[in-house]
Structure 1
Amino acid sequence: MKHTVKATWMRGGTSKCWVFERSELDVPGFTTDEVLLRLFGSPDPRQIDGVGGGSSTTSKAVILSPSDEPGIDVEYTFAQVGIDQAVVDWGSNCGNCSAVIAPYALKRGWVDPDHGILTVRIRNTNTGQILIERMDLDSSRAPVLIPGVPFPGQVVDIGFLDPAGATTGALFPDGQQLTTLGVHDEDADARSEISATLIDAGAPLVIIDADAAGLGAIGFGDWITESITEMPRLERIRRAGAVAMGLAATEAEAQRAIPKLAIVAAADPGGDADIKVMMLSMGAPHPALAITGSIGLSIAAHHPGTLIAQKLASAPDGELRLQTPAGLLTTWQRQIDGQLAVGTTRTARELADATLGFDPIGDRSGAPTVTVAQVAGLDEQQLEPDPEPHRRRTVFASVAAFAVFGLGATLVGGGLLNPPATTADGDYAGETLQMVIPLAEGGGTDTWARFVGQELVQDIPGQPGFAPVNEAGGEGITGSNRFASSAADDGTELLVSTATTVVPWVLDRHVVKYSFEDLEPVLVNGTGGVIYARTAAGVKSPKDLIGRKKPLVFGGITATGLDLTTLVAFDLLEADISATFGFEGRGPVNLALQRGEVDIDYSTTSSYHSAVEPIAKEGSATVLMSFGQLDEHGKVVRDPNFKDTPTVVEVYEQLYGKAPSGPKFEAYKTLLGLTYTYQKGLWAPKDAPEEAVDLLRNSAHELSGDTDFNNKAEKVLGGYPIVADENLSQRVKDAYTVTDETKGYVTALLKDSYGIELD
């Protein structure tokens, strides 16, 4: 019998949540856990066969119903749906997802506003916690952005009433504001002592400092990346805290969702923040901050004996400003109806209404069999048992095997059942070419890599199989580090590079453990781009970049990625520019420019026609210059895709009547080559057989001259050729040679102009 489950997809704060009314999840013969797991597509790291998003912030369920209890409007249950394990965690609340309740209740007619103000009283059934949410329905209010979300939404003030002890019964479950935890080291027989504050407010929370987390000497901007290698130890600390708080009898029995772990450090003197904090959620760094965790941090800050209070320069005055990886978040404390309320402000937005299909089939004896939730009709399949935990390398190998055998659309050629042959014999028959893509699926680099890989294997003698494997994390650094340390050196495993992974290497960032000097290029491919500005900001030509009374605001993602080339161009031109970083992509920056929130931006060729050309034609944006391309002699020439647009060098000559020179110009040419002319590449380990590398390179060179390929590649490669000729090694070596003078200039520019110090 087929069932349908109605649901609403909403963003709440920095999370995405599927909202269900309680009755919708009552599927006869199946538990709510079983229903949610199949709806979300778990267990599967990608949740590819369900509606889960593959991360802890997008694998969440909000279950609502009107309340019959006097003084309570809505009953709210939160479920954290496991991703790679068949587990639904009911032990905590989610503050970010809580933001969807007031707008949903208003939509369903469960509550009514009073003179344009909506107030909703909510009971969270996971913890018994009472929340009060307030919405101002005045449509004339200016849009509000919060850290970690590139678009505005409905503003929701969320207050937790008397949040102390909702889970354990006590604000400090072990009776102390500062506790010493005994934590097992990697050697199970050894233990270390960790100072921590254990607090239960909003959600149970273990607070440690950056030194205890192994991040004390690391710049805050690198905490997310560096914490990945510390994760096993941080998880042991969290589980030890669970036992000390009485949440679990043993560390092995600790739930994944609670307690949460927060890492804190003193704020920079003179800055806007009171404290720096990064939180872990479901075993991974949270991109912003769990709201329930921020409640505990806020209350802990008001108790002088806690670890966080010891890090504050002064006692909080009712507000606490927390610097998170995504930006600044402020919490508040106030009295509401004679009760202490601790809260913050979030935004929410409805994304879609959906009907999810649920088709139970099979024998209910033994292991449960539940069909997959489907949107637009997905195949039915059985729920596999919860897998045993694996070591990281084993997990990676399993993902690689899945990519080879499960993704028929991306498996090309192969002869996988034939005996494997050596890659040094001029024939890849029987082999599988594994391509490590250190960024997430669906992005530009992933699209490029899969397209090039599928075409390349058809030109390699023996036509090997093709297995693209995404190993995202740390803006591409994590997967690249792993490749450098453990990639197969027989020519069957290649690394994809892009500007995101090249620039951190150029800057000698300590988190980078790979070096392109230890890799051998198989092929490189470039792109181009333009710099454009908002016409309403008073920019009609390049001369409007200098001598301004008010600097133009540049919207950036990160100064240590592809943005760096643009920043060096601004400096070379002596443009009057300030910058704001933290956008999640060029698309959000483009929209921010159209809304008037930033003034100047750049676009790569691939997105120019869709993102920039329309607003340039309507007159709301002005295309100022292209980055240009480096020719074989290292000279900056016009981009073939922007033949009528002057390059950065030509604009300099227009503004100052002479050709550019000196350290700034040399730095610009270096970065232009690395991030545009040779932006993407395929690399083999240095120790790979020379015969195998030559075979791969020759195959790529033949592919670059194939007319059918180039016609097919027009959209993906943007008209920029694949380069894999006999001079490739020397060409790349020259481009990837970065002088100490250039490194010194870039380091000083980031520090002096943008306050970014590289460690």
Structure 2
Amino acid sequence: MKTITRRVALGVAAGAVALGLAWPAAAEADFAGKTIEWIIPFSAGGGSDTWARFNAPLLSKYLPGNPVVVVVNEPGGGSTKGTNLFAARAKPDGLTILGTSGSTQFPYLLGDPRVRYEYKDWKIAMAGPTGGAVYASPSLGLTGPQDIAKLKDKELVYASQGATSLDLVPLLGFRLMGFNVQHVFGFKGRGDGRLAFERGEVNIDYQTSSAYLKNVQPLVDAGQAVPLFSWGVLNEAGEVVRDPTFPDLPSFAEAYETLTGKAPSGPEYDAYFAFFTAGFPAQKMVFLPNGTPDDIVAAYQKAFEDMKADPDYQANAEAVLGTYEQVTGPLAQALFEKGTTIAPELRKQVVEMLGAEYGVKLGE
């Protein structure tokens, strides 16, 4: 597991490592008798919630003093509500941490007026690459990835957290594929989107890897969902390849080629690829607020590293999180910078498209 994901992560972060960035000094913080709130700005049941609830007890075990770590869901505003609360209220004492997703990064990248947070103010404790897989209802007449072309003449409905959330990746991807998709905005998390799928309110969905493994694979096994493709992962050359968590599923690039007979290219693909890169190689990140002392940051980084040697972590991480290694130090910093930076021209292209086609008005 570690070999695969470290190869993917190093493809993004090699420059940072080459700079010789140093590890923090040994931690001196002590959280004995304390309770730490881990803010997740999404509803329960989605990928971020699943990720945090898997990590929380292990983080408790390896932080100095073994504090209680409580996951607090603060959904709303495409994840901007809970993130704004963290930015405004979290004290630099190590007792409040934030778990972000691509859905938190994208509003920031796009200039969403709801954003009242600045990523550069925070200190990163850990970054977790992840992936995701798209699936559809068998009522559409599909039995597997080989039937994806049947979606071309279907009316598809997708439950979206909003055009500036991580759901921008499927919006751009489905549009590139030529699918006729109605994006229903306003859902508070991918978990809510999955529940809408289970109720038959939508007929196409995607979940990040942790939520897919936990909540969608049972639907697939029961014949209630048909997997179509994964978004894929980046190799060392920066190319999209199959996600090792879903080795039997084609990547987005493969699925596109099946549909069109050619590899994806052009300005629309460049925009899709930019947001895919910002959203998935560094999708899950853990932050401490501005002004947090170095010894507290070091304590968190060490705890996240130490827990990866824990037998419970090693036994269950792949089943829960997929084949992705959570990283700290220079790798985390490099992924953080990758996930919060986008070329101005690609940002402008997407902002204009969202305004013209979906009525989404964003700051310039």
TM-score (norm 2): 0.77
> Which residue of 428, 431, 435 corresponds with 2:37?
435
* Map of 1:152 onto structure 2: none
Q: Does 1:747 align with 2:351?
A: yes
> Which residue of 446, 465, 468 corresponds with 2:70?
468
SS in 2 for 1:642: coil
* Map of 1:605 onto structure 2: 209
Q: Does 1:426 align with 2:24?
A: no
Per-residue deviation, 1:642: 0.9
Q: Does 1:529 align with 2:132?
A: yes
- Superposition pairs for residues 182-581 of structure 1, below 5 Å? 426-430=27-31, 432=34, 434-439=36-41, 442-444=44-46, 445-460=48-63, 462-468=64-70, 470=72, 472-475=74-77, 476-539=79-142, 541-546=147-152, 548=153, 551-581=155-185
Per-residue deviation, 1:566: 0.8
Distance 1:614 1:433, change over 3 A: closer
Distance 1:607 1:464, change over 3 A: closer
* Map of 2:248 onto structure 1: 644
CA RMSD of aligned residues (A): 3.2
Distance 1:424 1:702, change over 3 A: closer
CA distance in 1, matches of 2:29, 2:336: 25
* Map of 1:4 onto structure 2: none
SS in 2 for 1:713: helix
Contact 1:636/1:669 (<8 A) preserved: no
Distance 1:535 1:749, change over 3 A: farther
Equivalent residue pairs, number: 331
Structure 1 stretches lacking a partner, 5+ long: 1-422
SS in 1 for 2:257: helix
Distance 1:484 1:530, change over 3 A: same
SS in 2 for 1:733: helix
CA distance in 2, matches of 1:641, 1:497: 21
Alignment deviations for residues 24-83 of structure 1 (CA, whole Å, 9 cap, x no partner): xxxxxxxxxxxxxxxxxxxxxxxxxxxxxxxxxxxxxxxxxxxxxxxxxxxxxxxxxxxx
Distance 1:483 1:441, change over 3 A: same
SS in 2 for 1:495: strand
CA distance in 2, matches of 1:612, 1:479: 26
Distance 1:631 1:459, change over 3 A: farther
* Map of 1:34 onto structure 2: none
* Map of 1:658 onto structure 2: 262
Contact 1:506/1:743 (<8 A) preserved: yes
- Higher strand content, 1 or 2: 1
* Map of 1:191 onto structure 2: none
Question: Between Structure 1 and Structure 2, whose CA radius of gyration is higher?
Answer: 1
* Map of 2:196 onto structure 1: 589
CA distance in 2, matches of 1:542, 1:552: 13
TM-score (norm 1): 0.40
CA distance in 2, matches of 1:564, 1:708: 34
Distance 1:632 1:489, change over 3 A: farther
SS in 2 for 1:722: coil
Q: Does 1:685 align with 2:289?
A: yes
CA distance in 2, matches of 1:610, 1:425: 36
SS in 1 for 2:280: helix
Per-residue deviation, 1:688: 2.5
* Map of 1:7 onto structure 2: none
Structure 2 stretches lacking a partner, 5+ long: 1-23
What letter is aligned with 1:426? A
Distance 1:489 1:555, change over 3 A: closer
Per-residue deviation, 1:506: 2.2
CA distance in 2, matches of 1:737, 1:730: 11
Per-residue deviation, 1:684: 1.8
* Map of 2:230 onto structure 1: 626
Alignment deviations for residues 437-495 of structure 1 (CA, whole Å, 9 cap, x no partner): 143674443453244233124323x3352343636253432332232234323544322
What letter is aligned with 2:198? L
What letter is aligned with 1:435? E
Contact 1:481/1:513 (<8 A) preserved: yes
Contact 2:242/2:251 (<8 A) preserved: yes
Per-residue deviation, 1:685: 2.8
CA distance in 1, matches of 2:239, 2:37: 32
The share of aligned pairs that are identical, in percent, is 33
- Higher helix content, 1 or 2: 2
SS in 2 for 1:658: coil
CA distance in 1, matches of 2:184, 2:89: 37
